[in-house]
């Protein structure tokens, strides 16, 4: 399960599929982003503004929970029930960077004997990411929402800064 359907969340979900997951649930409140994720076979988008993600993960896993949960949103509310998505003995990976301290339910993590990992800046994964893309196991082309030539780089950054829900990634190309 991946919480957060932005660029990092979608690419994390695609990497999970490439690593052997048969399906990955991905959640968000922005339907536009979920619609982009839905284009990929194996991704199960869930709009948490309309559907309870914990009920959905239990429905999909026959009340077991997800074996791996990635928090990629960085939104403080995502931490409130994060461990409720996980199966006993699961791994929870904290990827998203919240704007400040967030509650961390130690009792819920201990009761399920969860393994909690923390990630900062994706150290030492660049070569592996390039290999996944080059092999065709991960296709990032559908994530490119708009492309700008280098000469319009300032315009590209201004466009990206708008944070439009239909935009996943803005690309600047060099000739």
Write out pLDDT tens, residues 93-146: 999 999 999 988 999 999 999 999 998 876 777 888 889 899 989 999 989 999
Can you name the residues that pair with 116 across neighbouring β-strands? 92
CATH architecture, domain 2-126: 3-Layer(aba) Sandwich (3.40)
Q: What is the mean pLDDT of residues 87-91?
A: 98
Whole-number pLDDT of residue 95: 94
Whole-number pLDDT of residue 58: 94
Q: What is the mean pLDDT of residues 26-54?
A: 96
Of the ranges 7-21, 28-42, 112-126, which one carries the lowest mean pLDDT score? Answer: 112-126
Whole-number pLDDT of residue 52: 95
How many residues are present in the chain? Answer: 175
Whole-number pLDDT of residue 60: 93
| All structural domains of the chain with their residue ranges | 2-126, 141-175
Whole-number pLDDT of residue 2: 98
| Order of strands across the sheet that contains 115-118 | 43-47, 24-28, 2-3, 66-71, 86-94, 115-118
Q: Which residue has the tokens 């201990």?
A: 110
Whole-number pLDDT of residue 8: 92
CA distances from 79 to 1, 83, 84, 161 (A): 14, 8, 10, 26
């Amino acid at each position: 399960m991946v919480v957060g359907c932005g660029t990092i969340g979608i690419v994390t979900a695609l990497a999970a599929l490439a690593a052997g997951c048969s399906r990955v649930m991905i959640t968000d409140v922005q339907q536009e982003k979920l619609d982009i994720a839905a284009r990929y076979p194996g991704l199960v988008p869930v709009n948490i503004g309309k559907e309870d993600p914990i009920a959905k993960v239990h429905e999909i896993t026959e009340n077991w929970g997800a074996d791996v949960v990635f928090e990629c949103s960085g939104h403080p509310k995502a931490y409130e029930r994060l461990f409720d998505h996980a199966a006993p003995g699961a791994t929870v990976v904290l990827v998203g960077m919240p704007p400040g301290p967030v509650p961390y339910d130690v009792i819920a993590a201990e009761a399920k004997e969860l393994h909690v990992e923390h990630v900062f800046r994706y150290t030492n994964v660049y070569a592996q990411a390039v290999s996944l893309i080059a092999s065709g196991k991960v296709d990032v082309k559908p994530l490119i929402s708009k492309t700008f030539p280098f000469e319009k780089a300032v315009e590209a950054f201004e466009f990206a800064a708008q944070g439009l829900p239909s935009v996943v990634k803005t690309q600047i190309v060099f000739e």
